[in-house]
Amino acid sequence: MAFKIKNNVSWVGKIDWELRKFHGNELSTHRGTSYNSYLIKEEKNVLIDTVWLPYKEEFVENLAKEIDLKKIDYIIANHAEIDHSGSLPELMRHIPETPIYCTASGVKSLKGHYHQDWNFKPVKTGDKLSVGNGKELIFVEMKMLHWPDSMAAYLTNDNILFSNDAFGQHYANECMFNDLVDQNELFSECIKYYANILTPFSKFADKKIKEVLDLKLPIDMIAPSHGIIWRDKPTQIVEKYIKWANDYQENQITIIYDTMWDGTKRMAETIAKGIHEKDKAVNIKLFNAAKTDKNDIITEVFKSKMILVGSPTINRGILTVMAAFLEEIKGLAFKNKKAAAFGCYGWSGESVALITKALKESGFEIINDGLKALWNPDEASLEKAYQYGQSIAV
């Protein structure tokens, strides 16, 4: 159902309570999501983004209840990814000539997805589009936040920044404003979103946010394309992004492992005790990667100053869950984090060296050669693990 967000601007999107996996199966969405589309009805009628493909009929049907589709003057496609553009083909069946404003990369991506020669109007940062009644949309290219085509649009007078993916969260809630929802849930989803999606683009995020702030545009509301809309102290999420984009870390050490016969698990638990004995203030978290949602672990890695990664040796390699985890963190390109490896072995014992190499290649600062334990760790091996924990505690 549509609702007004401010003056003549309405939300016309879709809340997806059921979604549990996003980007195929890459990203968990424990609290669902929303695909936010906005309708501006001034002298000109403007639609900003659409919703994900499976909801295209529902979207167009609901939109037609809000406005005669033929009266939509402009469509703004802030981002070509399918969760925001997926309903365009269905909508354009009804209004094929309507101009679509997007970046030059957006034209390429939309053509790549839908193979249609729609009436594209490429825009650049600073370009303006009058919507009448003295209001304008100002476009800001948001390259690599998080795709090359990403863009934001700012509505003057109402002072709303339509930021698309930036500042969003996968968080379904009927109360669509930040002051109405559980703050812990909200910020957990914000940091998970940043950690899992935006981490590799932190340099771009920092630069772009500063560039937008330098424009000194008054911001009364930030309306992203997922989750709740920021209307209470909207720049609080901008301040969080600046922190997160600058080598963010908390006083946390995270231990991530998989285990076959619990030897590597016992090492993990004993290392944790060693760290805690030496440093009572540091937050220590342990995760068996085979039993924990990978995106939740990534969020914990994002918060960490150090990670310890463990696997026993199997077939001269490591357990496949840990191989997948290492591949995941390689792509995310974390900065300013220390790391080391540990694991049990029976004969050849390659796991610790392999993990160490992968962590180094992923940009972690390796603090030592790691810790190995032969067969099932005995008292002496566990004492070594305890001492190892003490030695790495700051």
Separation CA 150–CA 289 (nearest Å):
33
Tokens representing 317? 């390699």
Compute the Cα dihedral for 141, 222, 332, 31 and give only its sign: negative
The answer to whether residue 279 is catalytic is no
Residue 69, phi-psi category: left (phi > 0), alpha (psi -120 to 50), beta (remainder): alpha
- Among the listed residues 16, 149, 165, 189, the single catalytic one is 165
Please report the beta strands in 233-334, taking only residues with DSSP state E, as ranges in sequence order: 252-257, 283-288, 306-310, 313-314, 317-318
Angle subtended at Cα 304 by Cα 299 and Cα 306, rounded to the nearest 5 degrees: 135
* Shorter beta-carbon distance to ligand FEO: residue 218 or 331: 331
Does residue 84 have an active-site annotation? no
When asked if residue 338 is in the footprint of ligand FEO (CB under 6 A), the reply is: no
Q: Please pick, among 38, 146, 189, 300, the residue that the annotation labels catalytic.
A: 146
Q: Which stretch binds ligand FEO (CB under 6 A): 5-13, 80-88, 270-278, 291-299?
A: 80-88
CA distance readout (Å), 162 to 150, 293, 353: 11, 31, 47
Is residue 165 a contact point for ligand FEO (CB under 6 A)?
yes
Report DSSP letters for 212-250, one per residue: HHHTT---SEEEESSS-BB-SSTHHHHHHHHHHTTT---
Indicate which residue of 16, 42, 83, 149 is catalytic. 83
Residue 81 contacts ligand FEO per CB under 6 A? yes
* Binding string, residues 207-246; x marks residues near ligand FEO by CB under 6 A: ------------------xx--------------------
241 as an active site residue: the answer is no
Q: Using the rule CB under 6 A, give the single segment among 76-84, 99-107, 204-212, 348-356 that binds ligand FEO.
A: 76-84
Q: Which is nearer to ligand FEO, 139 or 147 (CB)?
A: 147
For 16, 238, 247, the CA distances from 64, given in Å and listed in that order, are 20, 34, 46
Is 83 one of the annotated active-site residues of the chain? yes
CB of 258 to ligand FEO, least distance (A): 30
Smaller CB separation from ligand FEO, 16 or 83 = 83
Q: How far apart are the first and last CA of the chain?
A: 53
Q: Of the two residues 95 and 191, which places its CB atom closer to ligand FEO in the complex? A: 191
By the rule CB under 6 A, 84 interacts with ligand FEO: yes
* Rounded least distance, CB 316 to ligand FEO, Å: 39
- Please calculate the CA angle 22-28-34 and round it to the nearest 5 degrees: 55
Q: What is the nearest approach in angstroms of ligand FEO to the Cβ of residue 165?
A: 5
Q: Which of 16, 81, 300, 328 is labelled catalytic?
A: 81
Closest separation between CB of residue 323 and ligand FEO, Å?
Answer: 27
Annotated active-site residue in 49, 154, 189, 226: 226
Q: Is 42 a known active-site residue?
A: no
Kindly state whether residue 49 participates in binding ligand FEO, applying the rule CB under 6 A. no
Q: Of the ranges 78-86, 93-101, 111-119, 275-283, which one interacts with ligand FEO (CB under 6 A)?
A: 78-86
Report the C-alpha gap between 21 and 376 in whole angstroms. 37
Active site residue: 193, 248, 257, 345, which one? 193
Stretch that binds ligand FEO, among 81-89, 209-217, 280-288, 360-368 (CB under 6 A): 81-89
Q: In this chain, which stretch among 79-87, 110-118, 181-189, 232-240 interacts with ligand FEO, using CB under 6 A? A: 79-87
Whether 81 is a known active-site residue: answer yes
Report the SS3 class of residue 75.
Answer: strand
> Are the beta carbons of 360 and 366 closer than 8 angstroms?
yes
Other Cβ atoms within 10 Å of 368 Cβ, number: 13
CB-wise, 2 or 144, nearer to ligand FEO? 144
Name which position in 31, 41, 56, 146 contacts ligand FEO (CB under 6 A): 146
Q: Measured from the CB of residue 56, what is the shortest distance to ligand FEO in angstroms? A: 16
Q: Helix or strand or coil: residue 185?
A: helix
Burial of 37 (0-12, 13-18, 19+ CB in 10 A): buried
Count of Cβ atoms closer than 10 Å to residue 333 Cβ:
13
Angle separating helix axes 320-332 and 294-303, nearest 10 degrees: 50
Which residues are catalytic, by number?
Answer: 23, 79, 81, 83, 146, 165, 193, 226
Residues making contact with ligand FEO (CB under 6 A): 79, 81, 83-84, 146-147, 165, 225-226
